Amino acid sequence: MIRIEHISKRFKKLQALDDITVQLIKGQVVSLIGPNGSGKTTLIKSILGMVRPDKGKIFVDESPINGDPDYRKKIGYMPQIGRYPDNMKVGQLFKMLRNIRNADEKETDSFLIKHFELEKIFEKPMRTLSGGTRQKVSAAIAFLFDPAILILDEPTAGLDPLASEILKGKILEEKKKGKLILITSHILSDLDELTTHIMYMQDGKMQFFNDIETLQEETGELRLGKAIARIMKGEKTDKNWIDKMFEPENDEKIF
């Protein structure tokens, strides 16, 4: 559903993305992981058309994203920090989005609106909301139009435990529908039950892209957080396992 071919992006002296090539298909829940400054946000913004790569191409459903913004209708995006008009009321925000899409309430997914009890704050201006409540609004917007692709940037950050479980349950439901879901998170325990594939980035480069079972096998760790910690510390059970993943005979494991 998303095909990325040799994209690179530099901001002055910073090489934010360095020759990234990967193919993401429906049914995958891809955890995009890496240290701060590894290029994760730049990659997401490139897919969304918010950043234009210096080199390379991005395709959504085999169509290049350059030019026509209609492809964005296929994507539900939850930013790490949602920014909305201060004086707009919560209910007005959802109404405006439905009007833009020419969709009535019956055609939109109100699961998170209901379970986050957002109807109770429909008359509140966005400026009055706490960070956690803004996160709930952002989550509800991401799922609102039943998109085929979901991009969720630190989705549980700032959410209370109940809201976090509600959101993870919704993600699991969309996973069962075979949607492509791309998630970034520093709370790796949140990703254990969701993830099918791991994409690990560092210094603007994709270090590896592989399924969770292979990662667990090669590191000897069942928990995603411990497996990634081993990678970041260089403590693999087989010190050459990443190199092996990129050998020609194992190409099918990567993409």
pLDDT score of 252 more than 80: no
Read off the pLDDT of residues 16-54 as tens digits, 9 standing for 90 and up: 999 999 999 999 999 999 888 899 999 999 999 999 999
What integer pLDDT is reported at residue 240 of this predicted model? Answer: 45
Please report whether residue 165 resides in a domain: yes
Could you give the 3-state DSSP secondary structure of residue 8? strand
pLDDT score of 241 more than 60: no
245 sits in which H/E element: helix 241-245
Please report whether residue 7 resides in a domain: yes
Q: What is the CATH number of the domain that holds 171?
A: 3.40.50.300
Read off the pLDDT of residues 62-93 as tens digits, 9 standing for 90 and up: 999 987 888 999 999 999 989 999 999 999 99
What integer pLDDT is reported at residue 149 of this predicted model? Answer: 97
Read off the pLDDT of residues 132-189 as tens digits, 9 standing for 90 and up: 999 999 999 999 999 999 999 999 988 999 999 999 999 999 999 999 999 998 777 7
Give the domain range for residue 27: 2-81+146-254
pLDDT score of 242 more than 70: no
Tally the domains of the chain. 1
Q: Which of 99-103, 118-122, 141-145 has the lowest mean pLDDT?
A: 99-103
19 sits in which H/E element: strand 14-24
Please report whether residue 45 resides in a domain: yes
CB 29 within 8 A of CB 169: no
Closest CA to 157 of 174, 139, 172, 181: 139
Please report whether residue 218 resides in a domain: yes
End-to-end CA distance of the chain: 13
Please report whether residue 42 resides in a domain: yes
Please report whether residue 21 resides in a domain: yes
What token pair was written down for 235? 């403590």
Please report whether residue 151 resides in a domain: yes
Please report whether residue 128 resides in a domain: no
- DSSP state at residue 4: E
Quote the CA–CA distance of 156 and 158 in Å, as a whole number: 6
